[in-house]
């Protein structure tokens, strides 16, 4: 995992868009974004480490998502566009990357700048509920990820708007980050 400020230069969203300004894991943690490195080649398998994090954070369910042109067919471009729209969720978004790669962009508070997080196999990333973010593949054009959920699997995006700014999960996220600052 590597994090940095997005350069905001127009162009293909799958490119690095690296401003040259790095973002530390400490800064990500202050925004509620958590990261663990659990190598795919872990002796005895990565499952036990993922299970330990899942137990610690009360994740009860999981599934696997495979985003590829071949796997999604005609829905590929539509799905990528929807993933890249700025939105929030009322649940944490938890991904353990099994193959491929992509980018999660999260909005920094209070600057509202994009922080780009490049995720690779072995990265376990938690995006907190209430944070504005978006996702895209990188130039590999594929990602396979284990998704973890506290309750039943769901993925309900709430696109950014004045109404979404008043969403109780957004309000609580802003309050918690502001209080920690």
pLDDT tens per residue, range 69-88: 998 999 999 999 999 999 99
Name the token pair of 55. 């137990």
CB neighbour burial string for 72-83, b if at least 16 within 10 angstroms, e if fewer: eeeebeeebeeb
Q: Is 93 annotated as a binding residue?
A: yes
CATH of segment(s) 2-180: 2.60.120.10
CA distances from 81 to 7, 13, 86, 134, 162 (A): 19, 10, 10, 10, 21
Q: Indicate the pLDDT class of residue 151, thresholds 50, 70 and 90.
A: confident
pLDDT at residue number 154? 75
- Residue boundaries of the structural domains of the chain: 2-180
Q: Is 89 annotated as a binding residue?
A: yes
pLDDT at residue number 42? 82
pLDDT at residue number 36? 97
């Amino acid at each position: 995992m590597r994090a940095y400020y997005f350069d905001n230069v127009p162009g293909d969203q799958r490119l690095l868009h690296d401003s040259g300004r790095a973002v530390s894991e400490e800064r990500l943690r202050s925004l509620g974004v958590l990261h663990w490195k659990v190598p795919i080649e872990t002796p005895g398998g990565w499952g036990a480490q993922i299970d330990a994090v899942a137990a610690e954070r009360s994740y009860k369910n999981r599934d696997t998502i495979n985003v590829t042109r071949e796997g999604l067919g005609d829905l590929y471009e539509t799905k990528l566009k929807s993933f890249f729209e700025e939105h929030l969720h009322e649940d944490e978004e938890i991904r353990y990357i099994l193959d491929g790669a992509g980018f999660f962009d999260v909005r920094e508070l209070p600057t509202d700048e994009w922080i780009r997080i490049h995720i690779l196999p072995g990265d376990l990333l938690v995006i907190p509920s209430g944070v504005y973010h978006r996702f895209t593949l990188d130039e590999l054009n594929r990602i396979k990820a284990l998704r973890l959920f506290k309750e039943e699997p769901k993925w309900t995006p709430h696109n950014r708007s004045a109404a979404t700014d008043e969403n109780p999960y957004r309000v609580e996220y802003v309050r918690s980050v502001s209080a920690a600052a």
